[in-house]
């Protein structure tokens, strides 16, 4: 396998599918993989023809985290502390950056590309998701898992703190006490427990995970207006840091702008005519 094969990328029916492709190592991450992964997310985020981004792993694993064999070799030092991988690189402009509340509070590159992209992001956790792999799934808007999936925040057992924003993400997602439990113990949880805790949106039989995720993503791509999705994503990710008045004002401002768009006219027209919408993102 060449370096160019370690991340696969395809677009079908406006859904970008990004797969970790190192199945013999349960898709354990190398710096080269991460660089290519973030580039793939950026590519999908900038492509007007992509409406939804799905990430998953090839083989029987989602992503087993950082390949520990690179630690101490100097190779892992290629990972910049802020996760950008290209020190000093300017933020990448993406489709929809100007829509909705500003997401400039997040890095525009690296780990937070999944957040700053104005496309819905979905993690299909098809097997082990440990450490950094688990964190990448947490950076997505929505997560589904197979029944054979198992996940954990490995860090306490490796002698490091909650890395790459995982403490913030987990606390935001499931609350302080549950986040503390997962982080302090580094214990592994099944797909069923992850669903009960609120870490994931749903759990499915192994052979049903990808059919569900693909159908779910295509439904969003076909029936939800891209501009509205871009605004909603920004509203969701800024909601926890803003007070109510800020969120209300941002919603009113965006609503006024949306009513002037072609997508708004198409949405109203398709509803009245009882037909499927044909949104363009304009």
Cβ distance 182 to 195 under 8 Å? no
Predicted confidence at residue 91, as pLDDT, reads 47
Give the pairing of strands 121-125 and 15-20. Answer: unpaired
> How would you class 49 by CB atoms within 10 Å of its CB: exposed for 0-12, middle for 13-18, buried for 19 or more?
exposed
pLDDT tens-place values along the chain, 282 residues long: 555 689 999 999 999 999 999 999 999 998 889 989 999 998 999 999 999 999 999 999 999 998 887 665 544 445 443 444 443 344 456 777 777 666 665 554 577 889 888 899 999 999 999 999 999 999 999 999 999 999 999 988 888 888 888 898 999 999 999 999 999 999 999 999 999 999 999 999 999 999 999 999 999 999 999 999 998 998 888 887 777 787 788 777 877 887 788 788 877 888 888 788 888 777
Sheet holding 129-130, edge to edge: 129-130, 150-152, 189-190
Q: How far apart are CA 242 and CA 240, in angstroms?
A: 6
Predicted TM-score (pTM) of the model is 0.87
Cβ distance 90 to 110 under 8 Å? no
> How would you class 278 by CB atoms within 10 Å of its CB: exposed for 0-12, middle for 13-18, buried for 19 or more?
exposed
Q: How far apart are CA 133 and CA 17, in angstroms?
A: 16
Q: How far apart are CA 199 and CA 105, in angstroms?
A: 24
> How would you class 198 by CB atoms within 10 Å of its CB: exposed for 0-12, middle for 13-18, buried for 19 or more?
exposed
Q: Name every residue whose Cβ is closer than 8 Å to that of residue 76 and which is 6 or more positions away in sequence.
A: 31, 66, 70
CA distance between the termini of the chain: 41
Give the bridge partners for 151, in sequence order: 129, 189
One DSSP character per residue, 89-152 reads PPPPP-TTTTSSS--TTS-SSGGGHHHHSSS-EEEEE-S-EETHHHHHHHTSSEEEEETT-EEE
Cα–Cα nearest to 135, from 55, 197, 39, 48: 55
Angle between helices 226-239 and 262-273 (to 10 degrees): 110
DSSP label at 79?
A: S
Sheet holding 7-12, edge to edge: 7-12, 15-20, 52-57, 121-125, 142-146, 202-204
């Amino acid at each position: 396998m060449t370096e160019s094969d370690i991340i696969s990328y395809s677009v079908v029916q406006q859904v970008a599918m990004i797969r970790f492709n190192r199945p013999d190592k349960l898709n354990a991450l190398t710096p080269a993989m991460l660089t290519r992964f973030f580039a793939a997310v950026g590519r999908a985020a900038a492509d007007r023809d992509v409406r939804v981004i799905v990430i998953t792993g090839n083989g029987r694993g989602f992503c087993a985290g950082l390949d520990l064999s690179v630690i101490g070799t100097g190779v892992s030092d290629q990972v910049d502390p802020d996760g950008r991988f290209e020190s000093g690189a300017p933020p990448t402009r993406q489709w929809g950056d100007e829509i909705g509340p500003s997401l400039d509070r997040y890095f525009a590159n690296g780990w937070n590309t999944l957040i700053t992209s104005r496309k819905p992001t979905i993690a299909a956790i098809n097997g082990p998701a440990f450490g950094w792999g688990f964190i990448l799934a947490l950076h997505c808007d929505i997560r589904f898992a197979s029944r054979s999936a198992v996940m954990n925040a490995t860090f306490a057992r490796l002698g490091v703190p909650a890395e790459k924003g995982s403490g913030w993400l987990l606390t935001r997602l499931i609350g302080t006490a549950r986040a503390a439990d997962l982080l302090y113990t580094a214990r592994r949880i099944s797909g069923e427990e992850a669903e009960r805790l609120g870490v994931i949106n749903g759990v499915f039989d192994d052979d049903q995970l990808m059919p569900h995720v693909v159908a779910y993503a295509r439904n969003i791509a076909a029936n939800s207006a891209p501009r509205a999705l871009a605004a909603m994503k920004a509203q969701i990710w800024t909601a926890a840091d803003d007070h109510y008045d800020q969120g209300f004002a941002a919603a009113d401002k965006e609503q006024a702008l949306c009513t002037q768009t072609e997508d708004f006219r198409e949405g109203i027209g398709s509803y009245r005519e009882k037909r499927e919408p044909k949104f363009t993102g304009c």
